[in-house]
Structure 1
Amino acid sequence: MKQRAELSKTLKPQWVWAIAFGSAIGWGSFVQPAIWMGQGGPLGVIIGFLIGALIMLVIGVSYGFLIEELPVSGGDVAFVYATFGRTHAFICGWALTLAYVCIVALNASALALLAKFLLPAAVEWGYLYNIAGWDVYFGQILVASIALIVFAYMNVRGTTLTGKTQFIFCVLLLAGVALLLLGMIFNSDTSFSNLQPGFKPGISSWSSIIAIVAIAPWAYVGFASIPQVAEEFDFSPKKAFSLIVFALIFAALEYSVMIIVTALPMPWQELVALNDIWGTGTVVAGTLGNVGLFILAVSLCMGIFTGLNGFYLSASRVLVAMGRAQFLPKSFASLHSKNNTPQIGIITVCILCLIAPWFGRSALSWVVNMSSTGIAVVFFYCCFVAYKSFRWSRQNQDDTKTIAPVKKFMSLLGSLFGLGILALLLIPGSPGFLSTPSLVALAIWIVIGILFYLFRRPVFQKIPKDEMDYMILGKVNKAKDGQEPPLSTTN
């Protein structure tokens, strides 16, 4: 049997928390508050994000169990393979890879957006064309491209560097957000009355909340970075669930605080009516001056950096799992001879993302919105795997499955939440229904996935089951005589 190259166990608990939290925050909480308030009102957004965090926490119960069972790179791919086999594992890996790559690209474009707001003359040069109402400049492409290359290089250099810098970025981000909140609360020109009405007028409060809940998979997807890097834990996988909990709590609070920071300086409906390219930046600059804008810019940079760093890490580990399974060429499973990092996966993510800035931010946002569908599919898969791994009660004396009715119920609930989020995105008339361009992007993504599957299927179907188990799971997943294993592998 071929030997399986394994990643080094270098990630400390605080670094893993930072990877999850920083990836969950990214740039969105600093750039999107005015847009979100236009969809649901301040209170609708905050309640929506809190409900979204609770839904993700239910899903996190399943992840916590599965990480303990299978602490390997590209955890979601391994989880789904262990129970549903190769085809479903391919679907899961394809969905997750594209979602992660899209978010890396969007974080890079957010850096160009920040530069456009703060230093327009420095980036708005070399006009090329207009796509979907967005002017594309070579200066903006250059900013995004440099960021992508720098973070790709950092990830190739080693996981220790990635983990340390991620933690520092998160500390600076939280410090900046705390300073902004205090500055707004104690400023004489701000008022909590500006948060009224709490929900978007003209629609029910429930619709306001659901519109935000629908984007929860996208907003909190960073917590699902934890299973992707589980092979590199230098601590017990049993700590994974507590790290998921803390990452989600901090993320929910941060999203809520930035809504309040954005709404305090002026009536939120007036801010939304301005249709400003960066509403949060405008009100912070107008209320707290250049000092406040500097703090916001630093915090936003940290959010972008944590998103770039975290999703490079996660995407490349999913590609490792897909390379081990030969869903992709096996070179994706190879590691750097000195740094022991998946350099092929990291470079591939970089190259794909370097294409994105040339299409403009508006066109890229269609793809990112569509990627929420893939994330919801992955959440459903993994929760259903956990559901099948628990028992309500012992069926016979030789039953080896875990007896955990509460966890089984939570896993079932997580599966239903995944389906519910999928329905919000795909059922016409629902508050979270995807736009036509996003649906077109989704259809293209599915067609490409089918074609790639048909191309690779003859390769990975030839691999013997024991070898495939070892390459993906790190072990041969066999049961005792006549028994079903805790995570049963099928073909």
Structure 2
Amino acid sequence: MENKENRELNKVLNTGDVLVTAFGAMIGWGWVVSSGGWIQGAGIIGTMIAFLIGGIMIYFVGLAYAELTTAMPESGGAKVFSQRAFGPIGSFICTWAIVLSYIGVVCFEACSLPTIIQYIFPGFLKGYLYTVAGFDIYVTWLVAAIIFAVLITYINIKGVKAAAMLQKILTITIAAVGIILVVVSLVNGDPSNLNGQMFVGDDANSIAKTILSVAMVAPFFLFGFDVIPQAAEEINVPLKKLGRLLVFSIALAVVFYGLVVFAVGYGMNLAEVQQSVSGTGLVTADAMAKLFNSKVMAKILIIGGMCGIVTSWNSFMIGGSRALMAMADSYMIPHIFSKTHPKYKTPYLALILIGLISIISLFFGRVMLVWISDSASFACCISYCIVSMAFVKLRKTEPNMKRPYKVKNYKVMGFLAVALSGFMSIMYLVPGTKCTLTNQEMIITGGWALLGIVFAVICKMKYKEKFGKQRGKME
């Protein structure tokens, strides 16, 4: 067995690291490519209201996470909370779902990065190999993606502090580019551009429906704050402050998305937005180019978007590896994945596994990864719902548990967290909604669930009474 020193994780994450890791996880590539679609779907003000609604949904779940993280500051986050409330089986379901969520994002970001490079360098694609569901795979595309996947995995193995340093640099870059866009829009934009773009709909009822349609999608661009609880043992921040940081990071992301949408709409009129959506699809970058009258500035904004890809990728590598380590530490999956690197004190085998999965996924092209990411979002909603239920149950069963960050009116907040996350989960299964899972996504989700059952049965048979019992650090 490993000794205590071998199992310890270094407490190296400070306040800034926590904030940029959570914020960076939520700010990916969507603010560059999806803003035009949001504006067409609900209008500028409508989209801002929609993100406010979506942010409120995530806010209630975030409150549950904030309290539970400070009460149980152990690596594993959702796994630790759900096990305390519902035992090994409930914990396995919750954690297995969140692992799919994290791996799905890692795979999608690994695919997105080389795709963005080709926007900056149109001649980038060389050496056609084959086509998967209409997506052409090229040698240069594949090599670039694999190099980045190996690099991100290596940085995370080197230590969470190294990963956080990368996160800090890239998040500052994203923020700087976003601020430049907003400021130049206010200076060079025109209020007349807002005409016909404020809301979508002919009456209050239709406007409300369009806002709700975007509000349903908005929370999926705000997932990611929960990577922080996964690395709780590596955080060197007062627990009460940690809870506040989690909640603040959600608010920060909502403000960022809202300002970007306003800047785009204030800088481009309705016809220009429509032309951009049907053209490059990079509406935010086209807005930057117009406002500066420079295509170079569009590429600079795209680079900011690339930083967003890497920050999400990096954050979910941290979260996914810690979730796998926590499961392995409880003998829910092969115990070898609980091992930490003798020098860097990181769960290197779990990181290598996620890195390998992301590399393998690249060979299936972008369409496959869209299916994975949608399945991942559904899995994340399931996990959020279970964590929210754990929050409510533990308040009842363990009222005297020390809670450095304690949520007021827990019954109301807990009910809203459970109801809203449960509602989002159901929407993936109800036909006709904007987020209904396709048949392919159902197969991926079902396959992942089946794999989880196989793991659970095998590990239960192999480890017997150890299954679900976290090995203490005294071993």
Q: TM > 0.5 between the two?
A: yes
| 254-263 or 313-322, larger mean C-alpha shift | 254-263
Q: How far did 1:475 drift?
A: 9.3
After TM superposition, the structure 1 = structure 2 runs for residues 4-403 of structure 1, keeping only pairs within 5 Å, are 5-122=7-124, 124-187=125-188, 191-193=192-194, 196-199=197-200, 204-263=206-265, 264-267=267-270, 270-271=274-275, 274=278, 276-288=280-292, 289-391=294-396, 400=400
SS of corresponding position for 1:222: coil
Q: CA RMSD in A?
A: 2.6
Q: State how far apart, in whole Å, the 2-side matches of 1:169 and 1:201 are.
A: 42
Q: Which letter maps to 1:153?
A: Y
Q: State how far apart, in whole Å, the 2-side matches of 1:315 and 1:399 are.
A: 30
Q: Which letter maps to 1:125?
A: K
TM-score normalized with structure 1 length:
0.88
Residue 486 of structure 1 aligns with which residue? none
Q: How far did 1:200 drift?
A: 5.9
Are the counterparts in 2 of residues 211 and 432 from structure 1 also a CA contact under 8 Å?
Answer: no
Q: Which letter maps to 1:18?
A: V
After TM superposition, the structure 1 = structure 2 runs for residues 446-465 of structure 1, keeping only pairs within 5 Å, are 446-463=449-466
Are the counterparts in 1 of residues 42 and 211 from structure 2 also a CA contact under 8 Å?
Answer: yes
Q: State how far apart, in whole Å, the 2-side matches of 1:246 and 1:177 are.
A: 18
SS of corresponding position for 1:121: coil
Q: State how far apart, in whole Å, the 1-side matches of 2:141 and 2:373 are.
A: 19
Q: State how far apart, in whole Å, the 2-side matches of 1:63 and 1:431 are.
A: 27
Q: How far did 1:343 drift?
A: 0.7
Instruction: Specify whether residues 336 and 194 from structure 1 end up closer, same or farther in structure 2 by C-alpha distance, changes over 3 A only.
Output: farther
Are the counterparts in 1 of residues 78 and 95 from structure 2 also a CA contact under 8 Å?
Answer: yes
Q: State how far apart, in whole Å, the 2-side matches of 1:150 and 1:243 are.
A: 28
Deviations 1:294-314 (A, max 9, x none): 430231122122112211111
Q: State how far apart, in whole Å, the 2-side matches of 1:275 and 1:438 are.
A: 28
Identify the match of residue 410 of structure 2 among 397, 407, 410. 407
Deviations 1:355-413 (A, max 9, x none): 1222121221111012111111111111111101224xxx9xx9746897702321121
Q: How far did 1:171 drift?
A: 1.5
Q: State how far apart, in whole Å, the 2-side matches of 1:99 and 1:224 are.
A: 11
Q: How far did 1:443 drift?
A: 2.6
Deviations 1:247-304 (A, max 9, x none): 1111111111222233332316624661534333334334421342143023112212
Residue 479 of structure 1 aligns with which residue? none
Q: State how far apart, in whole Å, the 2-side matches of 1:167 and 1:319 are.
A: 25
Are the counterparts in 2 of residues 34 and 271 from structure 1 also a CA contact under 8 Å?
Answer: no
Q: State how far apart, in whole Å, the 2-side matches of 1:262 and 1:76 are.
A: 37
Deviations 1:435-473 (A, max 9, x none): 3432333233223322333332323442177xx2444xx
Deviations 1:26-79 (A, max 9, x none): 222122222333443333332221111111111111111111221111111011
Q: Which letter maps to 1:129?
A: Y
Deviations 1:93-122 (A, max 9, x none): 211111111111212222112111111212
The runs of 5 or more residues in structure 1 that have no matched partner are 477-491
Q: Which letter maps to 1:185?
A: L
Q: State how far apart, in whole Å, the 2-side matches of 1:295 and 1:414 are.
A: 38
| 40-49 or 65-74, larger mean C-alpha shift | 40-49
SS of corresponding position for 2:223: helix
Are the counterparts in 1 of residues 79 and 323 from structure 2 also a CA contact under 8 Å?
Answer: yes
Instruction: Specify whether residues 131 and 2 from structure 1 end up closer, same or farther in structure 2 by C-alpha distance, changes over 3 A only.
Output: closer
| 30-39 or 316-325, larger mean C-alpha shift | 30-39
Instruction: Specify whether residues 357 and 266 from structure 1 end up closer, same or farther in structure 2 by C-alpha distance, changes over 3 A only.
Output: farther
Q: State how far apart, in whole Å, the 1-side matches of 2:360 and 2:91 are.
A: 27
Q: State how far apart, in whole Å, the 2-side matches of 1:424 and 1:41 are.
A: 23
SS of corresponding position for 1:120: coil
SS of corresponding position for 1:135: strand
Q: How far did 1:336 drift?
A: 0.7
SS of corresponding position for 1:130: strand
Q: How far did 1:17 drift?
A: 0.8
Instruction: Specify whether residues 273 and 237 from structure 1 end up closer, same or farther in structure 2 by C-alpha distance, changes over 3 A only.
Output: closer
Are the counterparts in 2 of residues 194 and 265 from structure 1 also a CA contact under 8 Å?
Answer: no
| 112-121 or 11-20, larger mean C-alpha shift | 112-121
Are the counterparts in 2 of residues 96 and 375 from structure 1 also a CA contact under 8 Å?
Answer: yes
| 453-462 or 145-154, larger mean C-alpha shift | 453-462
Identify the match of residue 425 of structure 1 among 409, 424, 428. 428
Are the counterparts in 1 of residues 31 and 284 from structure 2 also a CA contact under 8 Å?
Answer: no
The runs of 5 or more residues in structure 2 that have no matched partner are none
SS of corresponding position for 2:12: coil
Q: How far did 1:417 drift?
A: 1.1
Aligned length, in residue pairs: 466
Instruction: Specify whether residues 290 and 348 from structure 1 end up closer, same or farther in structure 2 by C-alpha distance, changes over 3 A only.
Output: same
Q: State how far apart, in whole Å, the 1-side matches of 2:467 and 2:369 are.
A: 40
Q: State how far apart, in whole Å, the 2-side matches of 1:118 and 1:360 are.
A: 20
Instruction: Specify whether residues 110 and 346 from structure 1 end up closer, same or farther in structure 2 by C-alpha distance, changes over 3 A only.
Output: same
Instruction: Specify whether residues 160 and 431 from structure 1 end up closer, same or farther in structure 2 by C-alpha distance, changes over 3 A only.
Output: closer
Instruction: Specify whether residues 71 and 362 from structure 1 end up closer, same or farther in structure 2 by C-alpha distance, changes over 3 A only.
Output: same
Instruction: Specify whether residues 262 and 475 from structure 1 end up closer, same or farther in structure 2 by C-alpha distance, changes over 3 A only.
Output: farther
Are the counterparts in 2 of residues 38 and 200 from structure 1 also a CA contact under 8 Å?
Answer: no
SS of corresponding position for 2:136: strand
Q: State how far apart, in whole Å, the 1-side matches of 2:97 and 2:23 are.
A: 21
Residue 487 of structure 1 aligns with which residue? none
SS of corresponding position for 1:390: helix
Instruction: Specify whether residues 353 and 404 from structure 1 end up closer, same or farther in structure 2 by C-alpha distance, changes over 3 A only.
Output: closer
Q: Which letter maps to 1:328?
A: I
